[in-house]
């Protein structure tokens, strides 16, 4: 889990635009963030399995 200070720091506007980074609003994870769903892959998988993300189904072929 991320510290509260780092979560707060991610919401602030950086001095330089290059320094901005995305963080999952649910768990605070920095890596493997998906912009389309605004969450990390871990939270995405969990919510998709529960059926809480509309239009997302488990692939089967």
Q: Are 42 and 29 in contact (CB under 8 A)?
A: yes
Q: Are 30 and 4 in contact (CB under 8 A)?
A: no
Is residue 42 annotated as involved in ligand binding?
A: no
Is residue 27 annotated as involved in ligand binding?
A: yes
SS3 (DSSP) at 38: coil
In the chain, the largest separation of any two C-alpha atoms, in whole Å, equals: 47
Binding-site annotation: residue ranges for Zn(2+)? 24, 27, 40, 43
Q: Binding-site residues, please?
A: 24, 27, 40, 43
């Amino acid at each position: 889990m991320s510290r509260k200070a780092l979560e707060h720091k991610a919401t602030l506007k950086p001095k330089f635009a290059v320094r901005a980074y995305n963080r999952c609003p649910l768990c605070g994870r920095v890596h493997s963030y998906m912009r389309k769903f605004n969450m990390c892959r871990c939270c995405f998988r969990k919510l998709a399995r529960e059926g809480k993300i509309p239009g997302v189904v488990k692939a089967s072929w």
